[in-house]
Structure formats: C-alpha cells, structure tokens
Amino acid sequence: MLIARYQKQMSTPATRRYPVTVTRLPVTRCQICKRTLAYRPGEANTVLTEHYRRTHPEALGLIAEAETEE
C-alpha cells in the first residue's frame, strides 16, 4: 500500500515548480587530501587557504616555520 502511494506521488507532477539556477563553478584539488574544492572566479586562493586552515593546520604551521627560518 505504501509503495503504491509513493509511486503515485512520483508519477504526478508537482503543482508548484520553483526555478532553480545551477552555477558551474571552477574546481581545484587539495594537494594533501585530494579533496575537490569549488570556488568563485578569482577566489581560489581564499578557498584553498580556508580549507588548509580548517583541515590541515599543521601544513600551514610548517610553511610559516620554513619562512621564518630563511
């Protein structure tokens, strides 16, 4: 009975349809975890820095230490 009701709901179109905008964003990958990150044009650096800050803070610490040693 439940399956029949579900199939009926799926086969009847929705009475209200809302417009949906799909935006294709450029992507980049994290070199450490290989995660794909989407970013708005011109914001790749910001997105990658935020990802590294949240997910790989130890990597940012190593970079900062290497810069101070030089």
% of the chain at pLDDT higher than 70:
66
For the entire predicted model, the pTM comes to 0.56
Q: What are the start-end ranges of the H helices in 1-70? A: 2-11, 44-55, 57-69
- C-alpha distances (whole Å) from 37 to each of 8, 26, 42, 45, 68 are 39, 9, 14, 11, 29
Chain-centroid distance, C-alpha 32: 16
Task: Indicate the residue type of 67.
Answer: E
Phi, psi of 6 (to 5 degrees): -65, -45
pLDDT at 2: 58
pLDDT at 68: 59
Instruction: Report domain extents, the chain.
Output: 24-70
Band the pLDDT of 23: cuts 50, 70, 90: confident
